[in-house]
């Protein structure tokens, strides 16, 4: 009997088996490797003119991906932002959000709101979604155990921090205990002053500090484009030098700049590959890591062998 004459349930089982076989070499390749995943707050926010995002379903799908990776011996570390959620809270309290080159201008009052959203809301939601599947996730921020030390990025940006050091000791300890660290990107300087750290920048620095095999950015577009508004111009692969040129030419602009710069920095500092993916696509992480076809933009050094390893 040919496959085309199988009942529907038979075809489903055959397709599932094919997917598992396709995933097998990647499961072997990435076992015991650290994968840093930056989960952007814009994954949970619908763009103007698009249907509303089911936040609970999106969180549940992402949590399933993290738990599956953990279950097969891959060691995920989640770094999250919360930009749209911060802007929404600012709007509710009568503050207007202001950005410069993709970074949020952060005065003292805004910093308090940022901490409330990142540490008290988004971090808790991610940890809870993962822990539905078992006692796996631990929430922390860059202030914990001096994980992220920062200084002011510029006077004009206020309490926006530039990462000067990452101490991954706490993250390594959690990974050694079989746990999934979920990191809110608030850092502090030597005097204890807190700073709002761009989550893309923090993810790149943390990925390098833990010698991650891969760094994945989940956002609301399917990767970097040579024409930002044209999905057909997706750039499937790029080198750090090519990313620098895209930023200099203005092709990468706005909120994409920190992502592109973080990809380039991380790859130059030991991360094997970095990826920019559409996190609204169900199970985007699994599709990128465990299937032959990529689903976004992949960044690697020119001397890195071809393939997804």
**Contact present, 253 and 195 (Cβ < 8 Å):** no
Three-class SS state of 234: strand
Residues marked as catalytic: 38, 41, 83, 200, 259
Distance CA 170, CA 221 (A): 32
Instruction: Specify burial of residue 40 (Cβ count, 10 A radius: 0-12, 13-18, 19+).
Output: buried
Question: What is the distance between the alpha carbons of residues 7 and 297, in angstroms, rounded to a whole number?
Answer: 38
Q: Where are the beta strands (DSSP E) in 131-210?
A: 137-141, 148-152, 160-166, 180-184, 186-188, 194-197
Please state, as a whole number, how many other Cβ atoms lie within 10 Å of the Cβ of residue 120: 11
What are the distances in angstroms from CA 116 to CA 19, 207, 229? Answer: 41, 25, 33
Nearest CA to 73 out of 205, 213, 270 is that of 213
């Amino acid at each position: 009997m040919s496959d085309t004459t199988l009942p529907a349930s038979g075809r489903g089982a055959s397709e599932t088996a094919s997917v598992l076989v396709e995933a097998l070499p990647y499961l072997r390749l990435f076992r015991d490797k650290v994968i840093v995943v930056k989960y952007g707050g814009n994954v949970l926010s619908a763009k103007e003119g698009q249907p509303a995002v089911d936040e609970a379903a999106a969180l549940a799908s992402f949590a399933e991906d993290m738990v599956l990776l953990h279950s097969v011996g891959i060691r995920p570390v989640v770094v999250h932002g919360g930009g749209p959620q911060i802007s929404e809270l600012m709007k509710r309290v009568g503050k207007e959000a202001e950005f410069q080159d993709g970074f949020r201008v952060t005065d003292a009052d805004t910093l308090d709101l940022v901490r409330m959203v990142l540490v008290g809301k988004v971090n808790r939601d991610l940890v809870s979604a993962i822990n539905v599947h078992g006692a796996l996730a631990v929430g922390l921020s860059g202030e914990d155990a001096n994980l992220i030390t920062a200084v002011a990025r510029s006077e004009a940006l206020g309490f926006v921090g530039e990462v000067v050091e990452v101490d991954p000791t706490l993250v390594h300890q959690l990974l050694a205990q079989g746990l999934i660290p979920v990191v809110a990107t608030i850092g502090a300087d030597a005097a204890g002053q807190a700073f709002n750290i761009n989550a893309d920048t923090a993810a790149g620095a943390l990925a390098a500090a833990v010698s991650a095999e891969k760094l994945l950015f989940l956002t609301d577009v399917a990767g970097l484009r040579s024409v930002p508004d044209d999905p057909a111009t997706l750039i499937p692969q790029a080198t750090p030098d090519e990313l620098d040129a895209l930023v200099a030419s203005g092709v990468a602009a706005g909120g994409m700049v920190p992502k592109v710069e973080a990809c380039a920095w991380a790859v130059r500092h030991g991360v094997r590959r970095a990826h920019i993916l559409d996190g609204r696509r169900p199970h985007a992480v699994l599709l990128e890591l465990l299937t032959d076809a990529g689903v976004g933009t992949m960044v690697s050094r020119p001397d890195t062998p071809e393939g997804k390893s």
